[in-house]
Amino acid sequence: MMSAEFLYGIEVVLNGLMAGVLYALVALGFVLIFKASGIFNYAQGVMALFAALTLVGIMEGQVPFAHVINAVFGTEVHHFGWHVPALAAIIMTLGVMVMFAWAVQKYIFKHLVGQEPIILFMATIGLAYFLEGVGDLMWGSNIKTLDVGLPQGGSRWVEDMTATLGGDDFYGFFIDKLDMVATVVAAILVLGLIAFAQYSKQGRAMRAVADDHQAALSVGISLNFIWVLVWSLAGLVALVAGIMWGAKSGVQFSLSLIALKALPVLMLGGFTSIPGAIVGGLIIGVGEKLFEYTIGGMMGGATENWFAYVLALVFLVFRPQGLFGEKIIERV
């Protein structure tokens, strides 16, 4: 028998781990693009929002830009009147994200090759604004529910299984089924990405580009193709993150703010490391939940808003390259 308080502490940690998995998922999208092109993609969160919006729009047969068409031509269109099954809609959304990746590469970042990282970063902030506006114009800005058939609610099974661990005032761990699904999906996605990077031809080319642009170019790897590929992969990760977060709390603007949460994750884990993104995500997820549970109440609550940043800030002062980042070497 363990004391109920201790067990509730464990429950907080478990929930933190699940939240951390979702942070890690978004952070993973950042790492992919950063490794291959040196672009720190602030728009990753908005990409998740845009992917989720597009998915809902396709599933419900919304007419894209209906809002604009109605305003300009005085028509009254809004829906095509059909419903697309979830799987087909997901594949179509993926197609949209690939097209988006191609357009971003062709119209923006091709022209910015060789610029300083900070300029690229600011360009992605512009991209985030642009994409957010386009998403709202295309699908409307009202809050949408996303239902692709994922299980919802707490798991009775886990609750019943663990209820015996504590005393009479302990009722078992409350764990959301959706979080469990998200964890499994994230794990599969990460393993898939690692396998892709390690064993496929394109994956090898991708790692070669990440190592050295010039050398990769000289052995005949098309940088353009790799960058489109990387942005598409980031689009895939954004779509998965968008589905998970969208199913959890509705598809709305706040979805794009998870990008901001992913930043401290990256700082902890290091911008160039896939395992770093995962470990960083878990640390932040558990850390902020535990901090809120133990100390946050005394400080007035809602410490989750800033805890991750301050933790990352303090951590970086002692280790500027993050946990798993490559050592920063500076030369004049």
Partner 1 sequence: MFYREAGDFKTSYKDDNQTFPIAFDRYRYWVVLAVAFLVIPFLINDYWANAIFVPFLIYAIAAIGLNILTGYCGQVSLGTGGFMAVGAYACYKLMTAFPDVSIVIHVVLAGGITAAVGAAFGLPSLRIKGFYLAVATLAAQFFLVWLFNKVEWFYNYSASGQINAPERTVFSVPVTGPNTEAWAQYLICLVFVTVSAIIARNLTRGTMGRKWMAIRDMDIAAEIIGVNPLRAKLSAFAVSSFFIGVAGALFFAVYLGAVEVGEAFGIQKSFLVLFMIIIGGLGSIFGAFAGAAFLVLLPVALKVVGVDLLGWPTDMVAHLQLVVVGALIMFFLIKEPHGLAQLWRVAKEKLRLWPFPH
Binding site for partner 1 (CB under 8 A): 40, 67-68, 71-72, 108, 111-112, 115, 117-119, 121-123, 125-134, 136-137, 141, 260, 263-264, 266-267, 299-303, 305-306, 309-310, 312-313, 316-317, 320, 328, 330-332
Q: How far is the CB of 307 from partner 1 (least distance, A)?
A: 9
The two three-digit tokens of residue 16, written as one number = 């933190």
**Least distance (Å) between residue 86 CB and partner 1:** 27
275: CB partners within 8 A, 6+ apart: 269, 324
Q: Which residues of 296-315 are buried (b: 16+ CB within 10 A; e: fewer)?
A: beeeeeebbeebbeebbeeb
Q: How far apart are the first and last CA of the chain?
A: 62
Residue 208: is it exposed, middle or buried by C-beta count within 10 angstroms (0-12/13-18/19+)? middle
CB of 261 to partner 1, least distance (A): 10
Shortest distance in whole angstroms from residue 74 CB to partner 1: 10
CB of 121 to partner 1, least distance (A): 5
Instruction: Using the minimum distance from each CB to partner 1, give the nearer residue, 134 or 165.
Output: 134
- Select 22 or 131, whichever has its Cβ closest to partner 1: 131
Which DSSP string corresponds to 241-253? HHHHHHHHH-BSG
Closer to partner 1 at the Cβ: 111 or 201? 111
DSSP assignment letter at 301: S
- Angle (CA) 176 296 182, round 5°: 20
Question: For partner 1, which is the closer residue by CB, 126 or 151?
Answer: 126
Tell me whether residue 118 or residue 219 sits nearer to partner 1 (CB atom). Answer: 118
